[in-house]
Structure 1
C-alpha cells in the first residue's frame, strides 16, 4: 500500500498506530487505492469520537492511544488482524473473486450480527415473560 501512494513502510506504520494524522488528500488516496468511498473510513466511527476535542491544533492524541474514544471502544480497525485481512484481501488480483469474497464476508457478518441480536432478544423475553 505504501508503494502505491509513495510512502515508506515506516510512514504507513505511523498512520496505523495513530502517531501521524491522515490529511484529507492522503485519505482520498487510500480510498481510491482500496476502491472504497472516503466515507467508508467513518462508517463505524463512535459518535463520541470528537466530543470534547478541538478540531485544530497540534499535540492531540492519536487514534488508538489510551484515553481516546477509539481505544475505549476497542476499535477493530486498529487491530493487527484487520490489517492482515486487508493486506491479504488486496493481494487477490482477480476483481471478480475479490468482490465475491467481499460480499461473502459482509453476508456472514450480517448473519452473525443478526444471530447475536436475536439471541439477546430471546434472553430478554425469557427474563421478562
Structure 2
C-alpha cells in the first residue's frame, strides 16, 4: 500500500514538504541578509517593518529556516541597497554554510557602529584614524617606519 504525502509529513512531524525545506543555500542567503542588515545598522524589527513581515518571519529568513520567494528577495535587496546576486556571493554547490570568523564579526560590528554615528566630523575623524593605522600596518609589513602624521597627510 502506497503512503500519501500527508502520511509522510505526519511521520516526519514537521508538516513541511521536502521541496520546501530550507537548505545550505537558504542558510547562506539568510546569513547574507543578516550581514547586510547589520552593516546598515538596522534591527530585525526595522527590516521586518520595511519589507512588510513580522519580526519572527524576518528572523526565520535570516536563520535560513524559511525559504524566501524571488519577489520577497528582490524587495529585501532594494531595502538593503544591493542587487539580488549579492545574497548569493560566496555560495558554491560544494560548500556548506560556516560561522563567520571573529575578524569578520568585528568588521561587521565596526560597520554597524560607524553607521550609527550621526556627526559627520566624527565619522571623518574615525575614517582618518583608520587610514593612518592601516598605513602604519602596511609600512610595518614592508619594513618602513612611518609617522602617524605622515600617514594622515597622505589622504
TM-score (norm 1): 0.43
> Which gives a bigger RCO, structure 1 or 2 (Cα 8 Å, sep 6+)?
2
Task: Answer with 1 or 2: which has the greater Rg.
Answer: 2
TM-score (norm 2): 0.37
